[in-house]
């Protein structure tokens, strides 16, 4: 089977690595891919949001399945585009249609879905410029800290958590009145603050059945001890040590099953990954957010723990036969540490040569922001490499990742030395 992966990060490199191991994988293409995905398939210089160009490539390369990595092609309706095109409609797309992608594309849509189906989540109200004053009044009823969320996609920057009421009011006014996050903040969700520890569950559904993938925890802040600006993610661990069987069974009963049933009740056909961001409060799971794709860098620890053939898993998804699929999971822990470019997540340099990759032993280096230039591997993004290792427990796996990071070099490289510090 010829397969196309859309995206260019560590997540897509990991999917390519795993798909290429399958005897069923024919020609593998990654659009646009990076310097790491070249080891597993052919990179296509295409924009995942340019659907007409993708169509042409899919037909030319006889592609028989499309795996969508990032959220924006989903929110922009790539799956709908395939279903509506007579040449493409029989080619399975792993990733939900545009309507369902609002679970990630609109915070309000996601909150309404959770309320409608009794899925535990923080109390909230949403506001636009027209009812700004009501927003101020609602803030007065809450205790600090105040959680303000831009309704739309804001590249992970649209959530503000503020200790001071006056500051929260000022930010609300800037989000709504001055469109601080562009159109994404023309509506703002204000939420009750939940105090707990976060982790994520990953589910793959064929719209009827689901399988639960390994869970994971990521580290979003740039600085040690979870300080500083938010990033796409600086490292991840799977499984999450505090998520014992009792807690995971609550997650399945109270969150996963109501989510899958809720989609069915709402007649929302959903084929693809559901990434459920959870927070544990008094040993109860609450949903912080849904994403309609896999996480990055969570994929770099979740997928390596899946022993089953990934082409088989996606074929079962496309055929709506996940009920018969037995997922084999590696009992070992997996960890990944992101090597980023100095300055990230603010301004950072690009084009630095990466050396020492050939000295890495017993870790897997998944490429994120890299590209090939004159036969050299150079940096091309903020998050550059994800160094993944296995271990009997996460501490041993981490030791291995850190040992191998010591072999790799690029100018101004940065990474967190304390992944897993809170566990
Ligand atoms: P989100 O984009 O909705 O996942 O929010 C980004 C981050 O903000 C989450 O990963 C949490 O760390 C934090 N957060 C979001 N909502 C809440 C909440 N209601 N209570 C506490 N922290 C939150
Ligand atoms: N690592 C968080 C995300 O992928 O959204």
226 and 297 housed in the same domain: yes
CA distance 110 to 215: 21
Q: Report the chain's terminal Cα–Cα distance, integer Å.
A: 41
What is the overall mean pLDDT for the chain? 97
What is the per-residue pLDDT for 154? 84
Domain end, chosen from 259, 294, 324, is at 324
Q: Over the stretch 220-262, which tens digit does the pLDDT of each residue have?
A: 999 999 999 889 999 999 999 999 999 999 999 999 999 999 9
Measure 122 CA to ligand 1 centroid, in angstroms: 10
State if residue 72 touches ligand 2 by the CB under 6 angstroms criterion: no
Structure tokens at 32: 């646009």
Q: Per the domain annotation, does 108 fall within a domain? A: no
For a ligand 1 pocket test, name from 189, 232, 289, 295 the mutation site with the most ligand atoms within 8 angstroms of its C-beta: 289
Structure tokens at 420: 């897993």
Q: What is the dihedral of CA 236, 244, 326, 401, to 10 degrees?
A: 20
Instruction: Provide the pairing of β-strand 42-43 with 28-32.
Output: parallel
Instruction: Provide the pairing of β-strand 159-162 with 93-94.
Output: unpaired
Instruction: Domain count for the chain, please give it.
Output: 4
Q: In degrees rounded to 5, what are phi and psi of residue 131? A: -115, 40
Percent of the chain exceeding pLDDT 90 equals 96
Measure 244 CA to ligand 2 centroid, in angstroms: 22
How much of the chain is helix, strand and coil, in % rounded to 5?
A: 30, 30, 40
Structure tokens at 230: 């938010």
91 and 151 housed in the same domain: no
Residue 301: band (very low, low, confident or very high) from pLDDT cuts 50, 70, 90: very high
List the domain range (segments joined by +) for residue 372. 333-405
Measure 62 CA to ligand 2 centroid, in angstroms: 31
Instruction: Provide the pairing of β-strand 187-191 with 146-150.
Output: antiparallel
What is the per-residue pLDDT for 56? 98
CA distance 395 to 217: 14
CA distance 295 to 333: 17
Closest ligand 1 atom to Cα of 149: 3
Q: Over the stretch 126-179, which tens digit does the pLDDT of each residue have?
A: 999 999 999 999 999 999 999 999 999 887 778 999 999 999 999 999 999 988
State if residue 218 touches ligand 2 by the CB under 6 angstroms criterion: yes
Q: In degrees rounded to 5, what are phi and psi of residue 190? A: -105, 130
26 and 54 housed in the same domain: yes
Q: Per the domain annotation, does 248 fall within a domain? A: yes
Q: In CATH, what number is assigned to the domain containing residue 52?
A: 3.40.50.20
Q: Per the domain annotation, does 390 fall within a domain? A: yes
Q: Which of 68, 74, 93, 75 is nearest to 83 (CA)?
A: 93
For a ligand 1 pocket test, name from 119, 230, 279 the mutation site with the most ligand atoms within 8 angstroms of its C-beta: 279
Q: In CATH, what number is assigned to the domain containing residue 268?
A: 3.30.470.20
pTM: 0.96
Q: What is the dihedral of CA 66, 67, 68, 74, to 10 degrees?
A: 60
Q: Over the stretch 303-327, which tens digit does the pLDDT of each residue have?
A: 999 999 999 999 999 999 999 999 9
Q: Per the domain annotation, does 14 fall within a domain? A: yes
Measure 161 CA to ligand 1 centroid, in angstroms: 8
180 and 212 housed in the same domain: no
The stretch 361-377 carries a mean pLDDT of: 97
Kindly report whether the peptide bond that precedes residue 145 is cis, defined as omega within 30 degrees of 0: yes
The stretch 177-182 carries a mean pLDDT of: 89
306 and 366 housed in the same domain: no
297 neighbors 238 (Cβ within 8 angstroms): no
Residue 71: band (very low, low, confident or very high) from pLDDT cuts 50, 70, 90: very high
Rg of the chain over Cα atoms, rounded to whole angstroms, equals: 21
Domain end, chosen from 324, 351, 373, is at 324
Q: Per the domain annotation, does 412 fall within a domain? A: no
Measure 107 CA to ligand 2 centroid, in angstroms: 15
Q: Over the stretch 199-210, which tens digit does the pLDDT of each residue have?
A: 999 999 999 999
Give residues with Cβ within 8 angstroms of 52, minimum separation 6: none
List, in sequence order, every beta strand (DSSP E) within 206-332: 210-218, 221-223, 227-230, 235-238, 272-281, 284-291
Q: Over the stretch 1-34, which tens digit does the pLDDT of each residue have?
A: 999 999 999 999 999 999 999 999 999 999 999 9
Q: Which of 49, 102, 52 is nearest to 263 (CA)?
A: 102
CA distance 297 to 9: 9
List Cα–Cα distances, 328 to 87, 177, 219, 237, 303, in angstroms.
35, 51, 26, 18, 11
What is the per-residue pLDDT for 314? 98
What is the per-residue pLDDT for 156? 73
Helices within 245-327 (DSSP H only): 245-250, 257-265, 299-302, 310-318
Measure 334 CA to ligand 1 centroid, in angstroms: 25
What is the per-residue pLDDT for 163? 95
Q: In CATH, what number is assigned to the domain containing residue 137?
A: 3.30.1490.20
379: DSSP letter: E
124 neighbors 286 (Cβ within 8 angstroms): no
Domain end, chosen from 98, 133, 158, is at 98
Kindly report whether the peptide bond that precedes residue 157 is cis, defined as omega within 30 degrees of 0: no
């Amino acid at each position: 089977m010829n397969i196309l992966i859309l995206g260019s990060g560590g997540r897509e490199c990991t999917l390519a690595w795993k798909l290429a191991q399958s005897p069923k994988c024919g020609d593998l293409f990654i659009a646009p891919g990076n310097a790491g995905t070249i080891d597993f398939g052919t990179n296509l210089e295409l924009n995942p949001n340019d659907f007409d160009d993708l169509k042409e490539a899919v037909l030319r390369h006889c592609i028989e399945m499309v795996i969508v990595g990032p959220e924006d092609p989903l929110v922009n309706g790539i799956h709908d585009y395939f279903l509506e095109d007579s040449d493409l409609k029989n080619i399975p797309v792993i990733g939900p249609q545009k309507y369902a992608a609002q679970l990630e594309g609109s915070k309000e849509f996601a909150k309404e879905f959770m309320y409608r189906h009794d899925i535990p989540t923080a109390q909230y109200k949403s506001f636009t410029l027209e009812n700004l004053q009501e927003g101020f009044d609602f803030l007065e009823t809450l205790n600090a800290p105040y959680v303000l969320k831009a309704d739309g996609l804001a590249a992970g920057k649209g959530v503000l958590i503020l200790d001071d009421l006056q500051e929260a009011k000022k930010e609300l006014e800037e989000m709504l009145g001055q469109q601080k996050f562009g159109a994404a903040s023309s509506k703002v969700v204000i939420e009750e603050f939940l105090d707990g520890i976060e982790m994520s569950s990953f589910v793959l559904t064929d719209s009827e059945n689901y399988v639960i993938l390994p869970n994971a925890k990521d580290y979003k802040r740039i600085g040690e001890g979870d300080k500083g600006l938010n990033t796409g993610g600086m490292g991840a661990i799977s499984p999450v040590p505090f998520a014992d069987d009792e807690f995971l069974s609550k997650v399945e009963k109270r969150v996963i099953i109501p989510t899958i049933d809720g989609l069915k009740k709402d007649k929302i056909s959903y084929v693809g990954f559901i990434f459920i961001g959870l927070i544990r409060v008094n040993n109860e799971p609450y949903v912080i957010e849904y994403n309609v794709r896999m996480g990055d860098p969570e994929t770099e620890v979740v997928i390596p723990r899946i022993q089953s053939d990934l082409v088989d898993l996606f074929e079962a998804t496309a055929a709506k036969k996940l009920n018969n699929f037995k997922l084999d999971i590696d009992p070992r822990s997996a960890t990944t540490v992101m090597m980023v470019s100095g300055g990230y997540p603010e301004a950072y340099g690009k084009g630095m040569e990466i050396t020492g990759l050939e000295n890495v032993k017993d870790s897997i280096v998944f490429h994120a922001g890299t590209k090939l230039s004159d036969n050299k591997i150079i940096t091309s993004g903020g998050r550059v490499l994800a160094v993944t290792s296995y271990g009997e427990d996460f501490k041993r796996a981490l030791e291995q990742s850190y040992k191998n990071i010591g072999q790799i070099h690029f100018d101004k490289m940065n990474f967190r030395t304390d992944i897993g510090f809170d566990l």
